[in-house]
Amino acid sequence: MTEARKAGGPHRPPSVSVSGQMGQVLLALVPATGLHVVFFGWGILVQISLALAFGWALEALMLKLRQRPIRPFITDGSVTVAAVLLALCLPPLAPWWVVGTGMVFAVVIAKHLYGGLGYNLFNPAMVGLAAVIIAFPDAMSNWLSPRGLGDPMPGLGQTLHAIATGSLPTGLDWDSISRATPLDELRTGLMARLTVSEIRESAVFSAFGGHGWGMIALAYLAGGLWLMARGVIRWQAPLAVVLTTLVIAVTAWLFSPDSAFPPSQQLFAGSLMMAAFFIVTDPVSGSSTPRGRLVFGAGVAIITLAIRQFGAYPDGVAFAVLLMNMLVPLIDRYTRPRIYGHPA
């Protein structure tokens, strides 16, 4: 695996490396992670640490079982990025076995059982997320109330206790520290036949999606734009996600402002921004043609919105991405660029 470049060239130092690209993705996630700490406390840092520990251990184990060299692959950064992305999707106080299960599905099943780096058909972080959404519905719906709404915020010790044991330390109870996410609130409100304007009176909403949620989404957007400017990700898939969401959400909202999710909620309340810039841009499981990336992004947006509006889960990004992953070979087949000198 460490062979030198062959005689055929190019005889120039390589411009980029996998680990360099992954490192930039991690850097682009720093603002969102920081805001996550501001609004939801220490939990996310613990989740990230746990996800990394599980991820690296499982990666090393699988490489050993598959008799692959450990060092080049554990340092390529791919498992690090998958771990951080999965952790960012988990409720801050989710017990450790949630993230553990998620990482087993992400690293062992989605990645290595399909052939390791470069060969996975499905986005590992999303496989892990989908698995824990199905396996731990309660733990996955216990979201903390964002800071600034007057609810108590658990300290570092309390956070560690909750994650380590799966139950809150004495003195804290779920009713006082948790609050439904904006998307949850919308879904249950609509099911209770409330109008959107009534539902949005809840303090969890803000002009930009939800209180705290909107800021974090903006941080993902900023990080994503930076990656785009650096040439690490391409513009097609994120733009397709955002534009498709806007077109559908605005249309639905114009026709039925009382029962359709408002556009700002669709864009900024859930994990759509994160998905647009950090999930659908995953090279391995995404489309590799320019036009295909547009189709892929649009598909993710459509399925996500459909699940949000009609499905059984408050957010649908994980399932939307996995469903579109299945279609990638087909998309790539039909969006291949025309080769120079060949008829259209």
Partner 1 sequence: MTAPVNLVRHGQFHGGLALEPNKAIALQTPLSRAPLPDRLYLPIDQHQGDAGAVLVSPGDRVLKGQPLTRAGGDRRVPCHAPSSGIIEGLVQQAGGLMQRSGQDCLVIRLDGLDEAVAPLPLAQWDTLPANALIDHLHAMGLVGMGGAMFPTAAKLRGDWPAIDCLIINAAECEPWIACDEALIRSRPGAVLAGSRILARASGARRIVLAIESHAVEALEQLAAVNQNDEQLPVELVTVPSIYPQGGERQLIQTLTGKEVPHDGLPQDLGLLCHNVATAAAAHDAVVEGRPLTERIVTLSGPGFEHPCNVLARIGTPLEDLLALAGGLKPDAARLVLGGPMSGLTLDDTAMPLGKGTNCLLALTDLEIAPTAPTLPCINCAACVEVCPASLMPQLLFRQLQADRHEPARELGLFDCIECGLCAQVCPSHLPLVDWYRHGKSVLRKKTLDQRQAALARRRFEAREARLAEQAAAREARRLRRQERLQNPDAAKDDILAAIARARGKGPEQKDD
Rule CB under 8 A: is residue 229 a binding residue for partner 1? no
Q: Residue 40's CB: how many other CB atoms inside 10 A? A: 23
CA distance 283 to 325: 11
Residue 178: strand, helix, or coil: strand
Work out whether 329 is an interface residue with partner 1 (CB under 8 A).
Answer: no
Nearest approach, Cβ of 284 to partner 1 (angstroms)? 5
Q: How far is the CB of 301 from partner 1 (least distance, A)?
A: 21
Cα–Cα distance, 272 to 138 (Å, whole number):
22
The reply to whether 5 sits near partner 1 by the rule CB under 8 A is yes
- The CA distance from 208 to 205, in Å, is 8
Q: Is 157 exposed, middle or buried (0-12, 13-18, 19+ CB in 10 A)?
A: exposed
The window from 30-38, 186-194, 220-228, 283-291 that contacts partner 1 (CB under 8 A) reads 283-291
Minimum separation from the CB atom of position 109 to partner 1 (A) = 18
Q: Which is nearer to partner 1, 232 or 269 (CB)?
A: 232
- Measured from the CB of residue 61, what is the shortest distance to partner 1 in angstroms? 19
DSSP conformation class of 144? B
Q: Which of 162, 189, 317, 340 binds partner 1 (CB under 8 A)?
A: 340
Counting Cβ atoms within 10 Å, is residue 135 exposed (0-12), middle (13-18) or buried (19+)?
A: middle
CB of 288 to partner 1, least distance (A): 4
Is 8 or 150 the residue whose CB approaches partner 1 more closely? 8
Nearest residue (CB) to partner 1, 265 versus 325 = 325
Structure tokens given for 169: 């330390």
State which of residues 59, 76, 184, 315 lies at the interface with partner 1 (CB under 8 A). Answer: 76
Residue 39 in contact with residue 215, Cβ under 8 Å?
Answer: yes
End-to-end CA distance of the chain: 39
How far, in Å, CA of 172 to CA of 315, rounded? 27
**From candidates 119, 134, 164, 176, binder to partner 1 by CB under 8 A:** 119
Q: How far is the CB of 76 from partner 1 (least distance, A)?
A: 6
Q: How many binding residues for partner 1 (CB under 8 A)?
A: 43
Residues that bind partner 1 (CB under 8 A): 1-18, 20-21, 72-73, 76, 78, 116-119, 234, 283-284, 286, 288-290, 332, 336-342
